[in-house]
Structure 1
Amino acid sequence: MVMIVDIVLLTLLCCTGVAIMIVRHLFAVVALTGAFSLLSAGLLVTLDAVDVAFTEAAVGAGISTVLMLGTLALTRRREAKPPKLSPLGLGVVVLTGATLIYATPDMPKFGASDSPGLTHIVPTYIEGSEKDIAIPNIVTSILASYRGYDTLGEVAVIFTAGMGVIILLGRRREDEYGYSEETAAFPLRQGGDTEPDFGDDK
């Protein structure tokens, strides 16, 4: 039964990923990315990683979706110019995917207790979590203490990305025709036209 659920979730994830690449309406893309995060959270639940699934649902499908919807209120609804298909990029993606699939049989079995990831530092975390950190939840002790600097770095990256988005949205740049991109982004608020004024035709 679990295998069937995993197959269904993976199929939906693949379909959602393809739809995100094809759709050009930004609102639909935001909705699809939120659905992708929820499907990922469901897949993590089937892997018994409920804490990670909760974080994915809260951050990926919740906060991130709200922030992207807020950003859409300040930008255009459709992608300005569809990207061209790059044969080189497609070849790199296919080659990388084929390499990963080829290497999959050499990976340790799922849940194996003798896998390298479980025989190195994990026993130290499990045995010393409550004694060293005095926190009963092992995940909390790892994220907040053992890997505290890593978590701080992730928070710093997210904060920097958010500040970058705010700065980019707030910039006012004039092109060679004196047309403000900010006016194009806020046509209703600032009375900007959707097309630049090139003067009277002669």
Structure 2
Amino acid sequence: MDESAQEGPGTIDLYLNIILLVFVVATGIAAVWLRNLLASAMVLGIYSLLMATLWVVMDAVDVAFTEAAVGAGVTTVLMLLAIALTGRQEKRARARPWLPLGVSLATAGLLVYATLGMPAFGIADAPAQLHVAPYYLQQAEAETGVPNVVTAVLASYRGFDTLGEVTVIFTAGMGVLVLLGSAGLRRQSASAPAKGDSAKGNSA
């Protein structure tokens, strides 16, 4: 009776992870399969929300917040702005992209194979639990002056990683601003000859 009660929460988490992973794979395939770029962008937003939920189930709440804010929020807005400047429909490729598909499948296979050598999820004797985590818990406040361990890890120990993430978002935002500016210049240059022709017609 006690063993079944102890195994219950773990079994529920396992089933929930499997369900979320199935939806993640389905939305990922749908985003690639769709020809309508607007629909694809919305599906990618759903994909990010599912990933954020998966991180919450795995007790990585800080990663879930980042995924929800950046993946489902900022990235979706940037893609919608880019689609508004380009078009909703994807142009069909003249040749089938077999080489990129092969490289992607090979990379995915290598990543899956690499996970086979990782320790099981949540075990107490994993290297991260024996070496890295205790050090952060004991020394984070003394070395960084930040009482919250998660904040200390993100802002100090993983400072360069956080800086890289911010740089990526900043670069994407600047790219969208450049696209918006170039689109405005094209509209002005296209409307200038029309105004000139109308002025000549009125003077004649």
Q: Structure 1 stretches of 5 or more lacking a match?
A: 173-179, 192-202
Count how many residue pairs are aligned between Structure 1 and Structure 2: 179
Per the alignment, residue 9 of structure 2 pairs with none
Q: Is the 8 A contact 2:81 2:176 kept in 1?
A: no
**TM-score normalised by L of structure 1:** 0.75
Distance, in Å, in 2 between the alignment partners of 1:36 and 1:66 is 14
Alpha-carbon separation, structure 2, partners of 1:94 and 1:28: 24
Which one-letter code corresponds to 1:149 in the other structure? F
Maintained 8 Å contact 1:24/1:82: no
SS of structure 1 residue aligned to 2:116: helix
User: What does 1:152-171 correspond to in 2, within 5 Å?
Assistant: 152-171=163-182
- CA distance in structure 2 between the aligned counterparts of 1:45 and 1:28, rounded to whole angstroms: 26
Matched, 1:70 2:73: no
Q: Deviations over 1:110-156 (max 9, x none)?
A: 12233233344332221112223332321111111222233223212
- Superposed displacement of residue 64, structure 1: 2.1
Please point out which of 98, 105, 124 is paired with 2:109: 98
Deviations 1:51-75 (A, max 9, x none): 2112211221122222322333323
Asked whether the 8 Å contact 2:78–2:172 carries over to 1, the reply is no
Larger Rg: 2
Q: Distance in 2 between matches of 1:69 and 1:82?
A: 22
- Higher-helix-fraction structure: 2
Query: In the superposition, relative to structure 1, how do residues 137 and 152 fare at CA in structure 2: closer, same or farther (>3 Å)?
Result: same
User: Shift of residue 13 of structure 1?
Assistant: 0.7
- CA gap of 1:64–1:92, structure 2 versus 1, over 3 A, is closer
Compare relative contact order (CA 8 Å, sep 6+) and give the higher one, 1 or 2.
2
Q: What is the percentage of aligned positions where both structures have the same residue? A: 49
* Aligned match for 2:71, one of 55, 60, 63: 60
Q: How big is the shift at 1:27?
A: 0.9
Provide the C-alpha distance between the structure 1 equivalents of 2:102 and 2:157, rounded to a whole number of angstroms: 40
- 5+ residue gaps in structure 2? 1-11, 193-204
Letter aligned with residue 91 of structure 1: G
Over residues 74-121 of structure 1, what are the superposed CA-to-partner deviations in whole Å (9 max), with x where a residue is unaligned? 231212344743223333333333333334332111122332333443
How far off its partner does 1:49 sit?
Answer: 1.0
| Cα 1:98–1:147 shift into 2, 3 Å | closer
**Partner Cα separation in structure 2 for residue 28 and residue 60 of structure 1:** 16
Residue 85 (1) aligns with residue 96 (2): yes
The 3 A distance-change label for structure 1 pair 85 and 122 is: farther
Provide TM-score, normalisation by structure 2.
0.74
